[in-house]
Amino acid sequence: MDNLRNDSYIVEAENVWRTYRAGTHQEVHALCGVSLKIEQPCVFVLRGRSGSGKTTLLNCIGGLDYPTSGTVRIFNQDILKMGENQLVHFRRKQVGFIFQSFGLNPIFSAYENVEIMLRIAGASNRECRERTLTCLEMVGLTKWRNHRPDELSGGQQQRIAIARVLANRPRLMLADEPTGELDSLTARDILSIFQRIVREEHVTLLLASHDPVVDIYADQVMHLSDGQLVPGG
């Protein structure tokens, strides 16, 4: 019965510890036995102050960092047992990352910043065009598709970053302080887009933020404090 139940988990982290060495003898515990489970597509918010362990946990779940101990399963696959090439392929197909800094190519247009992800994945010319335009439409940037990032506002640049992540149809999106550089009105607009995408694309969003306004858009909220996860919201 346990195996059948586990098959339904999108994310399953169990007793995850992440310890860093600071100097010769000192250890810093960024994560202290964190366990969480996400069973269905939703907006799942991790909230906590700077230094609480949010980014470390997202990195461990996304395979960008390795826990000191514990297990991490995504879609019932133990990512800690994957080789580097397998993990890269898994992330490319299943997981999308959105960061506070938008990470866009400054010489590419909005269209090209999204399309490049499909090119890398080997999509046909027709599929590249259709999916790129669909993703830009989802974030309301069709009219700005030929503009470069420096010709767009911060909110518009974050929309491009979201469209770029959506291009390869990930099943899980990890967003680390995605509204951290935006004003409050633009942040709410971006959060509304996230909420709609989760519903329409049936993806799961795991979002880390220190801003309490994100709770309004969440299906579930957990708080991180000193590397430990506690219920919230």
Cα distance between residue 42 and residue 29, in whole Å? 29
Tens digits of per-residue pLDDT, 197-227? 999 989 999 999 999 999 999 999 999 999 9
As given in the structure block, the two tokens for residue 52 are 């609480």
The pLDDT of residue 2 is above 70: no
Nearest-CA neighbor of 68 among 23, 11, 28? 28
DSSP 3-state assignment of 103? coil
Q: Tell me: the pLDDT tens digits for 74-101?
A: 999 999 899 888 988 888 889 999 987 8
Rounded CA separation 194/203 (Å):
10
Domain residue ranges of the chain, discontinuous segments joined by +: 2-232
Q: What is the mean pLDDT of the chain?
A: 90
- Checking if the pLDDT of 3 tops 50, the result is no
Q: Which helix (H) or strand (E) holds 70?
A: strand 69-74
Q: In this structure, which CATH number among 3.30.300.30, 3.40.50.2300, 3.30.200.20, 3.40.50.300 belongs to the domain 2-232?
A: 3.40.50.300
pLDDT band at 233 (very low <50, low <70, confident <90, very high): very low
**Is 132 within 8 Å of 168 (Cβ atoms)?**
no
